[in-house]
Amino acid sequence: MEKDLSNYRKTYKKGELLKANVPENPMELFRDWFIEVDTHFNVGETNAMTLSTFGLDGFPKSRVVLLKKYTYEGFIFYTNYESEKGLAIAANPAVCLSFFWPAAERQIIIKGKAEKIPENLSDGYFESRPRGSQLGALVSNQSEVISSREELEERLRALEIKYEGKTIERPKFWGGYMVRPEEMEFWQGRPNRLHDRIRYRLQLDYNWKIERLSP
């Protein structure tokens, strides 16, 4: 099987990113871009981001997860701590997050360290989830091999009966991570592939060094 994609072409001309115009803190630029994309561009899930980890098998692995909160400290998402990604983070907390918003011709690439958030914060978010999502967290032994789809559905039916009329508490193997950024790169598509790339790097004094990168 072969398909030549060399003729795929796109002209980037929806914006610019100038070093003179960016804030000192990258989280402020992230906030501004996120709000702008979420408000003015039809991208579906603006909070969808690619999480890359170093796997226990020595290979890097990327998958899409959903950003659930961002603050000046970092980026929060939720998952099964015993999943493939959870075990990878436990072994090596150095991760990469990336957002790609093609409608706005923008990317953001974030390097940082992931750490578990306090249990009470995970409890609060779990309580806010739809009941079906709460049960789904209990049903799935994430990343483990299963025999069939029917096996999952049978587990779900059993839990629906077990918890009928009862509060579903957050399982200890499920919760949130915060990724604290150490480097953030903002990419804005420009004509002739001369894209704007602005990188922030956290310094020892906790200030951010801002640099323009060659496209």
Known catalytic residues are 193
Concatenating the DSSP letter of every residue in the chain gives -----TT------S----GGGS-SSHHHHHHHHHHHHHHHS--S-TTEEEEEEE-TTS-EEEEEEE--EE-SS-EEEEEETTSHHHHHHHH--EEEEEEEEGGGTEEEEEEEEEEEPPHHHHHHHHHHS-HHHHHHHHH--TTS--S-HHHHHHHHHHHHHHTTTS--PPPTTEEEEEEEEEEEEEEE--GGG--EEEEEEE-TTS-EEEEEE--
CA angle 166, 173, 123 (to 5 degrees): 55
Backbone angles phi, psi at 64, to 5 degrees: -90, 130
